[in-house]
Structure 1
Amino acid sequence: MVVYTQPITVPPAEAALFLVVTINPGKEGAVRSGLEQLPGLTRSVRYRLPENHLSRVVGISDSGYRRLFDGPRPRYLRPFQALEGPRHKAPATPGDLLFHLRAKTTDLCFELGKLVMEALGDSVTTQVEVHGFRYFDERDLLGFVDGSENPTGPPGDASVYIGDEDPHFRGGSYVITQKYLHDLTTWQAMTVEQQEMVIGRHKQDDVEFPDSVKPADAHIVVNTITVDGVQHKIVRDNMPFAEIGKGEFGTFFIGYSRNPEVTELMLQRMFIGEPVGNTDRILEVSTAKTGTLFFVPSEDFLDNLPDAPAHPDTSESTAPPLTMAQLKEGIANEGFK
């Protein structure tokens, strides 16, 4: 049976809007009504300028899913795991729904975002709103190309879309988001050679350093996930953002994966270190301000929402966080590459 997926593995956009919202008490029915309008709203705005390639992805968190839907749950859906390492912290922050809007131009992202929020009305409260933009040749505000290791084509689809391991949610995905702020004053005081050792790549041409040269705590070393000899990748669609008047410059990290444990293991390696203390050098200049995990359902799911629960579950999840060893075991046992 053909399953229609949300558009995750698409070419990099030039503009993006990220909205993370929470559901207000007693407003679950209104939110479901708003979600039912999403496919139609997306088609209406996209049709006005089809050449600008508007796309929309909606994600639902553990808390949002328990409040909105009855029946089976996605296998790996759980709250974002906050991390506190020897020097750096990755906070967990509120969020029931994620809207990730992308296009060639900002106007389409704005228009669809406005219509989505009008459809939801007073049923939600905005927790995060970030307007992303393309910065030169796909670079972040640190000046390095971002996302060049993303898998594409069939390998990209295999990395992000759920298959037979969770057949009820085939064609779905998971996404973890974090808002990072950069200390550009400290970063710009470093030489280009020092910056390159933080990342593990040449800044100008984006060529990766040989393994013999890269430090063990370089960004691309820490973020390479290999379990039992198999490298597991995610699809990043990070975007730079800035509020110049506030002096805030950053990257909105958004990583899609078929199994969120791959991204969770990546974050544990970044913030705690493997071994402990070997944390990602980029965190010396980049601070995580938010952290959320969402299930990304298929388009079929959105076109025919599951039944609402008789009594929305508003309790807090009590699931214990997974250790690095448990994450590795889960990834190894999953059986897909």
Structure 2
Amino acid sequence: MAREQLGICAEANLHSSYLLCNALDGQEAILRQKLARLPQLLNRLSEHFSEAMLTAVVAISSHYWDNLYPWQRPEGLQAFPEFTSEQFSVSHSTVDLQIQVRSDRADVNHIALQQIYQLILAHVDIVEQLAGFRYLDGRQLTGFVDAPLNPRGQQRRHAALIDANRSPVFAGGSYLHFYRLLLDQKPWLQLSTAQQEEIMGYRKVDAKAVAVSEFNENSHLACWRAVQAGGALVLQQNMPFATLQLQGSLQLSFSADGQAFSAYWRQRLGLNAQGTYDRLLDFCRVDLAAAFFVPSLSYLEAAARGDFRASTRPGSAESNFLE
């Protein structure tokens, strides 16, 4: 049975750290070995700092996957969709790898990143090092509770992890969209609470939906309801970030279905039959975005051992995965 990376469905932590990397040319063979060792490294740290609840995610981008694992490509792995509407535009960035570390201790995150960096530094260039933090009781910097419609309990696994019946090779894996959402905080804070709640579609204090008479079909909540009603299941693992100049959210969306993200962005940007877009985007912009696949621990280890038949090719229906 495939073992998923624990950071996908883990509950919220206090601190998050992210490394975005580009692989150096010709490093694929050694990187397959090093990426398979990362979960072992992090498991040791997790046992040593058991109170920190340390988890991690190792993800490979849509454009680098065929270089690193050329024998088989996840069926739904596509580049971050470059959609443009009258109100907003989204374009993708070029990053090969993303490594996410989350825990309840910032010092443990630092130790983990240092050890990860020492393991892979000879094979990659670091593009970005980012950090997020828990804000109040799980809120974004808008002041509102983040992702009130997020799946809970076992539904988190159903939304995020690929089932073995769907793909034996990629069972336990997950499609990941990552983007940095910048909040234009000054005009947002000039709005009254009632105006903010109209845009969000739910109350600021308790995250309950606003009254039907006040509900706006262009609200943030309405867009998410429409996405879910269309059958697109997404698990969000977002964290706020802030510097003196910039603030916003580091958005990580996991799904067992690679097509879910196109449905999500079409709805938010108003590229749907109704033409209703997410009004929260009036106060936001995206400056960094990429699509990844998060393979199972079993897949990482098997790839490092070479447990794939040479006859498989990118784009084939299924490869012969040797347990």
With normalisation by structure 2, the TM-score equals: 0.89
Q: Equivalent residue for 1:204?
A: 205
Q: Equivalent residue for 2:5?
A: 6
Structure 1 residue 212, shift from structure 2 partner: 4.5
Is contact 1:82–1:291 with CA below 8 Å preserved after alignment?
A: no
Q: Equivalent residue for 2:21?
A: 21
Q: Equivalent residue for 2:292?
A: 294
Give deviations 1:234-286, integer Å, cap 9, x for gaps. Answer: 11110000112xx1111011011100211221112212432475321111111
Structure 1 residue 34, shift from structure 2 partner: 2.2
Mapped to 2, the partners of 1:230 and 1:222 lie a distance apart of 11
Q: Equivalent residue for 1:71?
A: 71
Classify 1:35/1:167 alpha carbon distance in 2 versus 1 (closer, same or farther; 3 Å): same
Q: Secondary structure at the match of 1:206?
A: coil
Structure 1 window deviating more from structure 2 (85-94 vs 298-307): it is 298-307
Is contact 1:21–1:96 with CA below 8 Å preserved after alignment?
A: yes
Q: Secondary structure at the match of 1:84?
A: coil
Structure 1 window deviating more from structure 2 (185-194 vs 38-47): it is 38-47
Classify 1:88/1:276 alpha carbon distance in 2 versus 1 (closer, same or farther; 3 Å): farther
Mapped to 1, the partners of 2:171 and 2:205 lie a distance apart of 40
Q: Secondary structure at the match of 1:170?
A: coil
Is contact 2:17–2:132 with CA below 8 Å preserved after alignment?
A: yes
Mapped to 2, the partners of 1:224 and 1:84 lie a distance apart of 22
Give deviations 1:148-193, integer Å, cap 9, x for gaps. Answer: 3221222221111111122221111111011011111110111111
Q: Secondary structure at the match of 1:224?
A: helix
| Alignment of 1:98 onto 2:95 | no
Q: Equivalent residue for 2:120?
A: 120
Structure 1 window deviating more from structure 2 (253-262 vs 121-130): it is 121-130
Q: Secondary structure at the match of 1:305?
A: helix
1:243-282 correspondence runs (5 A): 243-244=243-244, 247-275=245-273, 277-282=275-280
Structure 1 residue 19, shift from structure 2 partner: 1.9
Q: Equivalent residue for 2:303?
A: 305
Q: Secondary structure at the match of 1:125?
A: strand
With normalisation by structure 1, the TM-score equals: 0.85
Mapped to 2, the partners of 1:155 and 1:268 lie a distance apart of 24
**Code of the aligned partner of 2:295:** P
- Across the aligned residues of Structure 1 and Structure 2, the Cα RMSD in angstroms comes to 2.2
Mapped to 2, the partners of 1:148 and 1:100 lie a distance apart of 23
**Code of the aligned partner of 1:266:** Y
Q: Equivalent residue for 1:181?
A: 182
**Code of the aligned partner of 2:175:** Y
Mapped to 2, the partners of 1:190 and 1:210 lie a distance apart of 19
Is contact 1:60–1:96 with CA below 8 Å preserved after alignment?
A: yes
**Code of the aligned partner of 2:249:** T
Mapped to 1, the partners of 2:276 and 2:121 lie a distance apart of 45
Q: Equivalent residue for 1:217?
A: 218
Classify 1:89/1:226 alpha carbon distance in 2 versus 1 (closer, same or farther; 3 Å): closer
Mapped to 2, the partners of 1:67 and 1:194 lie a distance apart of 48
Q: Secondary structure at the match of 2:303?
A: coil
**Code of the aligned partner of 2:202:** R
Mapped to 2, the partners of 1:276 and 1:20 lie a distance apart of 36
Give deviations 1:71-92, integer Å, cap 9, x for gaps. Answer: 2221111211111111211111
Q: Secondary structure at the match of 2:63?
A: helix
**Code of the aligned partner of 1:88:** F
Is contact 1:176–1:291 with CA below 8 Å preserved after alignment?
A: yes
Q: Equivalent residue for 2:239?
A: 239
Mapped to 2, the partners of 1:139 and 1:43 lie a distance apart of 29
Q: Secondary structure at the match of 1:47?
A: helix
| Alignment of 1:143 onto 2:134 | no
Structure 1 residue 207, shift from structure 2 partner: 1.0
Q: Equivalent residue for 1:132?
A: 132
Q: Secondary structure at the match of 2:77?
A: coil
Q: Equivalent residue for 2:195?
A: 194
Structure 1 residue 218, shift from structure 2 partner: 0.5
Count the aligned residue pairs.
308
Structure 1 residue 226, shift from structure 2 partner: 5.0
Classify 1:269/1:219 alpha carbon distance in 2 versus 1 (closer, same or farther; 3 Å): same
Mapped to 1, the partners of 2:29 and 2:182 lie a distance apart of 35
**Code of the aligned partner of 2:111:** E
1:311-330 correspondence runs (5 A): none
Mapped to 2, the partners of 1:225 and 1:145 lie a distance apart of 19
Structure 1 residue 231, shift from structure 2 partner: 4.3
Q: Secondary structure at the match of 2:217?
A: coil
Q: Equivalent residue for 1:49?
A: 49
Q: Which runs of 4+ in 1 moved over 3 A?
A: 229-232, 306-310
Q: Secondary structure at the match of 1:77?
A: coil
Mapped to 1, the partners of 2:98 and 2:10 lie a distance apart of 18
Is contact 1:55–1:101 with CA below 8 Å preserved after alignment?
A: yes
Kindly, what percent of the aligned residue pairs are identical?
25
Is contact 2:169–2:299 with CA below 8 Å preserved after alignment?
A: no
**Code of the aligned partner of 1:36:** A
Gaps spanning 5+ residues in structure 2: where? 314-323
Is contact 1:31–1:124 with CA below 8 Å preserved after alignment?
A: no
